[in-house]
Amino acid sequence: MKEKGMALWFCSARFLVFLFIVSALPIAYILFQERAKTDHHVFHYHISGFFRECAKWDDQGRIFLVSFLEGGVGEIHVLQNYTRDVVLQEVTVIKDSDLTGNASNGIALDRPRNRLLVAVADVLGNRYSGLAAYDLSTWKRLFLTKLSGPGKYSKPIYVLL
């Protein structure tokens, strides 16, 4: 009998009100926090693709570097006289045709060597995963090393010194 009463409570209007409050309040709080005015910098920018996987701040170059889930890397220049009304623009700087279909899953700045390290992987087709390095001045690829994939051994695919 107790089980029947519990089942009826889950179908009651009280339960639906309770469920609404429990789910709506956290969402409302998050929306309130997102729209609230802050005393620190908030940068707004438009992306040209589907999804951005990772972002890093390059203090020396005063740019944000973002990796694309669809493959590639972009940069977002921060203006010296930035105001809240300005929407920053993303510019694609790395889009290798031989890496088409591979996602850029993460990036790391290597300032002592003036390069950007990019982890790449073909998430859907499982062709290979690898590590690529790009020169921060010219955006030319320095190397791409295959780390895993259907081949027997991992080996460098392209090396430019």
pLDDT tens, N- to C-terminus, the chain (161 residues): 455 555 666 677 888 888 888 888 888 888 888 777 777 666 777 777 677 888 898 988 888 899 888 888 999 887 766 666 677 788 889 988 777 778 888 899 999 999 999 998 877 766 778 899 999 999 999 999 888 765 555 455 554 54
CB–CB of 74/92 below 8 Å? yes
Residues 69 and 107 in one domain: yes
Which token pair is 121? 């992987």
Q: Residue 9 is part of which domain span?
A: 2-35
- DSSP 8-state symbol, 97: G
**Distance of alpha carbon 66 from alpha carbon 42, whole angstroms:** 16
CA dihedral 25, 26, 27, 29 (to 10 degrees): 90
Which token pair is 113? 């060597």
Q: How far is CA 139 from the centre of its chain?
A: 19
Which token pair is 41? 């910098």
Length of the chain: 161
Residues 90 and 139 in one domain: yes
Residues 63 and 105 in one domain: yes
Residues 25 and 49 in one domain: no
For the whole prediction, is pTM greater than 0.75?
no
Residues 8 and 65 in one domain: no
Which token pair is 8? 């009826």
